[in-house]
Chains A and B, each alone.
Chain A
Amino acid sequence: GAGVSQSPSNKVTEKGKDVELRCDPISGHTALYWYRQSLGQGLEFLIYFQGNSAPDKSGLPSDRFSAERTGGSVSTLTIQRTQQEDSAVYLCASSSGQGNSPLHFGNGTRLTVT
Chain B
Amino acid sequence: DTEVTQTPKHLVMGMTNKKSLKCEQHMGHRAMYWYKQKAKKPPELMFVYSYEKLSINESVPSRFSPECPNSSLLNLHLHALQPEDSALYLCASSREADRMYEKLFFGSGTQLSVL
Chain A partners chain B: no
Q: Which chain B residues have a beta carbon within 8 Å of chain A's beta carbons?
A: none
Q: Which chain A residues have a beta carbon within 8 Å of chain B's beta carbons?
A: none
